């Protein structure tokens, strides 16, 4: 295939990616990020899909001057770092991670927030690729030329605590929390010790694992059922989590289900739980 491609949906399969590997505008990004609740150490040598480029959420594509983890970059900074990875305005981007679907939706949401919609998550990520016994390679740094990516920030996709605070009392907005039920209901301690336990008042809990079938996303029909109650008669859904990562998994699921007017609370519980001026429920 020598023609440039337009990605048809927010989620693509391994088979789809295989069919389009030779597309001249395809870029594969590895957005792997270790879970904050994971205390294990790396025990196996890292491998990646052929020609993948590492999309470093933690150290490159998050604001290093923010007191909060994983804070979205300014449009100018994101544009520069995307160009450094050789990403162009016409790039068709497929993002994956080593855990199946964990951090890759965060990268997908960041690109959407910067005005780039020709982007999708690889369903099943590295585990799905391995399952088909497809070739892998050792990680290598990107050494190609600069891309011409342009960031056009869409502020409607990223919300602040001020908007979430207002949303508590607004019928037309729904706050949905992706953390576990134990954390949401203050039955489990937060992995970050300095945080209060509980949840944002009036928020609804849909643990991010609810939309996953192991390492892959559940079907569109199941996702429609999951999100129907949250979305019903609401003008906007704001997704929250611990630090803005797993909220994007729910955003991906809702997007696949056909829901519109979605946003992610970037500061999430790390910001809310550490600010004693903000109300909580248990």
Instruction: Count CA atoms within 13 Å of residue 205 on its CB side.
Output: 17
Which residue out of 52, 73, 93, 241 is catalytically annotated? 241
Whole-angstrom Cα distance, residue 218 to residue 257? 10
Helix (H) or strand (E) holding 15: helix 14-19
Catalytic residue list contains 248: no
Question: Per residue, what are the HEC states of 136-198?
Answer: EECCCCCCCCCCCCCCCCCHHHEECHHHHHHHCCCCCEEEEECCCHHHHCCCCCCCCCCCCCC
What are the b/e assignments for 115-133, b being 16+ CB within 10 Å?
A: bbebbbbbbbbbbbbeeee
DSSP secondary structure, 59-84, as one string: TTSS-TT-SSTTPPPPHHHHHHHHHH
Q: Which residues pair with 159 in a beta bridge?
A: 265
> Closest by alpha carbon to 8, among 136, 117, 168?
117
Strands 48-49 and 136-137: antiparallel
Whole-angstrom Cα distance, residue 9 to residue 6? 9
Annotated catalytic residues are: 241
């Amino acid at each position: 295939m020598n023609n440039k491609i337009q990605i048809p949906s927010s989620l693509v399969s391994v088979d789809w990616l295989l069919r389009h590997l030779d597309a001249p505008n395809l870029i594969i990004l590895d957005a792997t990020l270790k879970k904050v609740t994971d205390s294990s150490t790396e025990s196996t040598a890292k491998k990646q899909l052929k020609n993948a480029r590492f999309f470093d959420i933690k150290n490159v594509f998050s604001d290093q001057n923010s007191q909060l983890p994983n804070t979205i970059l300014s449009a100018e900074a994101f544009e520069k770092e995307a160009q450094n990875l050789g990403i162009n305005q016409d790039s068709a981007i497929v993002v994956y991670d080593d855990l199946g679907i964990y951090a890759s939706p965060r990268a997908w949401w960041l690109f959407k927030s910067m005005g780039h919609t020709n982007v999708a998550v690889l369903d099943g990520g590295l585990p799905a690729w391995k399952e088909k016994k497809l070739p892998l390679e050792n990680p290598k740094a990107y050494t190609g030329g600069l891309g011409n990516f342009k960031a056009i920030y869409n502020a409607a996709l990223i919300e602040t605590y001020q908007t979430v605070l207002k949303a508590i009392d607004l019928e037309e907005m729904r706050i949905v929390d992706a953390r576990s039920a134990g954390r949401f209901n203050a039955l489990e301690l937060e992995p970050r010790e300095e945080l209060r336990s509980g949840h944002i008042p009036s928020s609804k809990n849909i643990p991010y694992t609810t939309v996953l079938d192991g390492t892959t996303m559940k079907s569109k029909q199941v996702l429609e059922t999951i999100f129907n109650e949250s979305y019903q008669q609401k003008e906007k859904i704001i997704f929250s989590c611990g630090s803005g990562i797993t909220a994007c998994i729910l955003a991906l699921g809702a997007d696949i289900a056909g829901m519109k007017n979605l946003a992610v609370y970037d500061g999430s519980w790390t910001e809310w739980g550490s600010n004693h001026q903000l109300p909580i429920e248990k």
